[in-house]
Structure 1
Amino acid sequence: MNNKTAFLFDLNGTVIDDMHYHAEAWHEILTKDLGADLTWDEVKKEMYGKNREVLERIFGKGHFSDDKIERLSLDKEKYYQKAYKPHLKLIAGLQDFLAKADTHGIKMAIASAAITGNIDFVVDNVDVRHYFDAIVSADDVSTSKPDPETFLKAAEKLQTAPKDCLVFEDAPKGVEAAQNAGMRCVVITTAHPAEDFKQYDNVVGFIADYTDPYITNYFSEQE
């Protein structure tokens, strides 16, 4: 860490452990409402990136009108938020880590493939918006992870060089996006085991949550 270091956090599975609820929402929409012949595991495998990208991967481009995609997206997010809100909380140890990073003057951003409404739903309900100097959502980029645009835009907003950014991610596509952006990455193993990331050379550590000694000792080791 140096005085230019910035932290970039993915949201789902990284700030909150909610991927099961997204999977439930997508499974409901895709299999019950739209009749897709997909197993639970197949739904989980396909539900990355923007909602439009998910639908187009499964049904093909042009299958739905823009208005239909917008309605399906809204239905999915309503289902997700209703199901997850009673369980909404930060991943263990993150509150203390954010507070400590803030006292050290570390610039921080949310850099997520989530839509703005879902990011607002999280950061406002757990009261952490004040820790973040920038937020980049799916609505701010043209191409989702593993394209580096999300992380590069966050770095630009923080006025920080990519090499000085430390990304916190839970998904291989996100780690690949960080690698494509020239950024180091800490992996939170909420959704994937460490072996799913062996092809990436930008991973500097693995943690189960933010109570891991790698995180709790982070600042003392830098001093």
Structure 2
Amino acid sequence: MQVLEFKYKAFIFDLNGTMINDMEYHTMAWHSIINKDLGENHSYESVKKEMYGKNHEVLERIFGKERFTPQEIINLSIDKEKRYQEGYIPHLALIDGLYELLEIARSKGVLMAIGSAAITFNINFVLDGLKIREYFKAIVSADDVEISKPNPETFLKAAKALGINPSDCLVFEDAPKGVESAYNAGMKCIVLTTTHDIEEFAEYSNILGFIDNFKNPILKTLL
């Protein structure tokens, strides 16, 4: 990773896989519903590849747009989120070093937001469970956008809510589609290697570096 000399005015964090290392639990919840409840035979890896965007988009990518009624999609989504939270809550924790970064960034006047494809229900589960809501001046969830990542709407809305130009915002992401969303929003990105291999990000030119947690000393050059 290069030394990061440009001082960003705002940090925008994805949530799942970026602030908390929970993507395994989302995947396990969908894998269980898809195979045990719906009678399909999809591998864990094939389900993992679809773990981006809104719940109805995940279902549409796997089953097509005509498989479920709107009410069935709502019911499946609620069931999935309950299973995810039940499975993950014993492990709920920030990725190493993030609390310290939040503290330092706030003390330096860096504004912070969450820009996530998670629904508000799950964002509240994390923010209130870990008592970190106070650090974030804006929250953009799946419920706040028409089109999810890789469309730039999530990150552009976060920047607008903070009152900061997109080019002055640095995004923290863990997924290729999230990095693509940041690119489409005109934002640079730092990637957490919690969920995907570095090779999966080869096509993106807006990545400043890769980290496995927030203890990486290079992050101090951001502040």
Residues 169-188 of structure 1: CA distance to partner in whole angstroms, max 9, x if unpaired?
00000000000000000001
Q: Distance in 2 between the 1:61 and 1:193 partners? A: 30
Residue of structure 1 aligned with 2:213, choices 203, 209, 212: 209
User: Which amino acid in the other structure matches residue 190 of structure 1?
Assistant: T
Preserved contact between residue 210 and residue 216 of structure 1 (Cα < 8 Å): no
Counterparts of 1:117-136 in structure 2 under 5 Å? Answer: 117-136=121-140
Give the 3-state SS of the residue equivalent to 1:46 in structure 2.
coil
Q: Report Cα offsets for 1:62-94 as digits up to 9, x if no partner.
A: 211111100000000000001100100000000
* Residue number among 169, 177, 183 corresponding to 1:179 in the alignment: 183
**1:149 counterpart = 2:153:** yes
User: Which ranges of 4 or more aligned residues in structure 1 deviate by more than 6 Å?
Assistant: none
Structure 1 residue 37 corresponds to structure 2 residue 41:
yes
Indicate the SS of the match to 2:49.
Answer: helix
Question: TM-score, normalized by length of structure 2?
Answer: 0.95
1:98 counterpart letter in structure 2: L
- Size of the aligned set, in residue pairs, is 218
Cα RMSD (Å): 1.0
| Matched letter for residue 189 of structure 1 | T
Q: 1:211: Cα distance to partner?
A: 0.5
Q: Name 2:3's counterpart in structure 1.
A: none
Structure 1, unmatched stretches of 5+, are none
Unaligned residue ranges in structure 2 (runs of 5+): 1-5
Instruction: State the structure with bigger RCO (CA 8 A, min sep 6), 1 or 2.
Output: 2
How far 1:216 moved relative to its partner?
Answer: 3.9
Separation of aligned partners in 1, 2:51 and 2:98: 25
Structure 2 counterparts to residues 1-223 of structure 1, below 5 A: 1-2=6-7, 5-219=9-223
TM-score by length of 1: 0.95
Assess if the C-alpha contact under 8 Å between 1:207 and 1:214 holds in 2: no
| Cα distance in 1 between the residues matched to 2:148 and 2:71 | 21
Find the aligned partners of 1:50 and 1:130 in 2 and give their Cα distance: 26
